[in-house]
């Protein structure tokens, strides 16, 4: 993959999130401009992102990323990305970019976004070899338009099919799985790059469900609409502590028939959704998906029997992964 340009900004979470992060030994990426008691989420949109093409314009994607990060942090993008790396404890360490190519070429994390984030990380001083783009396997990465590369002098790109999984299982609640060695042994921090999709079981797949791509047997966690599977999985310490930020790809999406590509249900929100609170991000994504479904005359996900209940579970006292109450989400659209 080619090299790219600048980097990100701090991040705002409310007092509850700051408290829970402090228990894990972390500070928030955003330590000013925060609204007490609220988690900040930014939706940045560019209606002209795609133009006449099915693929978004790379320059516009980079500009949209900068706008999202600047709005989220209140800092210049270059300074912001440096701060994110610092707060993530990833100075001179490996930063993983966890993509999602499960849906195939038509509905996977866009290559332009992956390159834009990698560019900004390098401009923040991250060495190319310390950027690792990864997913479940080569097939999913190639669906994102990427090429497998293990050269330590360049941006690396490979899946758990190359790295393997830990021999020992880890557990939390209902979950008992093996984690990818990319997560456990390679990455000091992870930036999630999920793509927004409808899901035939979970209802919505975005920030938290993207973590199904870091374990050996995701098929074991789909019972009861993936509840509490998604929430329990995200409480596994390596996931909870290392996945520090989400740059959610909502540039294109499927609002029905997912998680596979359904061209008849494809739509273009032309947006990025960024933040630290994975629960607040997923609740925001759910709202966008429901809005589109209502627009085209489809029933709500609850009426369809697949409300994403795992979002509320992730926010409960036992999990404490974030907030799902709209009154406690500081949502900004730019």
Q: With helix as H, strand as E and coil as C, how does 289-315 read?
A: HHHHHHHCCCCCCCCCCCCCCHHHHHH
Please give the CATH number for the structural domain made up of 15-333: 3.40.50.11440
How far, in Å, are 138, 162, 204, 240 from residue 231 at the CA level?
27, 27, 13, 10
Instruction: Name 149's bridge partners.
Output: 157
Show the CA angle centred on residue 310, arms to residues 262 and 266, nearest 5°. 15
Contact status, residue 242 vs residue 89, Cβ threshold 8 Å: no
Domain ranges of the chain: 15-333
C-alpha torsion angle, residues 83, 89, 90, 93 (rounded to 10): 150
Residue with tokens 């940045």: 44
Cα 234 from Cα 77, distance rounded (Å): 28
Contact status, residue 87 vs residue 28, Cβ threshold 8 Å: yes
What's the DSSP call for residue 51?
Answer: T
Residue-by-residue pLDDT tens, the chain, 334 positions: 443 333 233 222 233 333 344 333 345 665 445 566 799 999 999 999 998 778 899 999 999 999 999 999 999 998 999 988 888 888 899 999 999 999 999 999 999 999 999 999 999 999 999 999 999 999 999 999 999 999 999 999 999 999 999 999 999 999 999 999 999 999 999 999 999 999 999 999 999 999 999 999 999 999 999 999 999 999 999 999 999 999 999 999 999 999 999 999 999 999 999 999 999 999 999 999 999 999 999 999 999 999 999 999 999 999 999 999 999 999 999 9
Structure pTM?
A: 0.90
Q: Which of 10, 34, 14 is nearest to 326 (CA)?
A: 14
């Amino acid at each position: 993959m080619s090299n790219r340009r600048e980097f990100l900004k701090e991040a705002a979470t409310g007092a509850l999130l700051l408290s829970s992060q402090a228990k894990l030994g972390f500070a928030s990426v955003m330590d000013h401009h925060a609204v007490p008691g609220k988690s900040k989420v930014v939706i940045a949109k560019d209606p002209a992102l795609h133009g006449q093409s099915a693929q978004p314009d790379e320059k516009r994607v980079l500009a949209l990323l900068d706008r999202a990060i600047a709005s989220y942090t209140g800092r210049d993008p270059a300074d912001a990305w440096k701060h994110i790396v610092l707060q993530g404890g990833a100075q001179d360490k490996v930063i993983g970019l966890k993509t999602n190519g499960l849906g195939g070429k038509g509905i996977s994390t866009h290559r332009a976004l992956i390159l834009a984030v990698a560019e900004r990380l390098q401009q923040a001083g991250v060495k190319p070899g310390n950027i690792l783009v990864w997913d479940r396997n080569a097939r999913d990465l190639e669906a994102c338009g990427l090429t497998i590369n293990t050269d330590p002098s360049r941006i690396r790109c490979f899946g758990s099919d190359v790295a393997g999984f830990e021999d020992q299982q880890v557990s939390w609640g209902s979950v008992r799985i093996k984690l990818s060695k990319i997560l456990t042994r390679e990455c000091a921090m992870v930036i999630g790059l999920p793509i927004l999709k409808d899901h035939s079981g979970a209802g919505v797949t975005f920030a938290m469900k993207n973590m199904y791509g870091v374990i050996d047997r995701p098929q074991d966690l789909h019972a009861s609409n993936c509840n509490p599977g998604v929430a329990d999985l995200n409480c596994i310490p390596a996931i909870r502590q290392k996945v520090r930020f989400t740059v959610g790809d909502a540039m294109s999406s499927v609002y029905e028939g997912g998680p596979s590509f359904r061209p008849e249900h494809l739509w273009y929100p032309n947006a990025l959704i960024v933040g630290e609170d994975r629960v607040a991000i997923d609740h925001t994504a759910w709202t966008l998906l429901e809005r589109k479904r209502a627009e085209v005359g489809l029933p709500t996900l609850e009426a369809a029997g697949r409300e994403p209940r795992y979002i509320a579970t992730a926010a409960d006292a036992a999990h404490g992964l974030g907030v799902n109450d709209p009154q406690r989400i500081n949502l900004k659209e730019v």
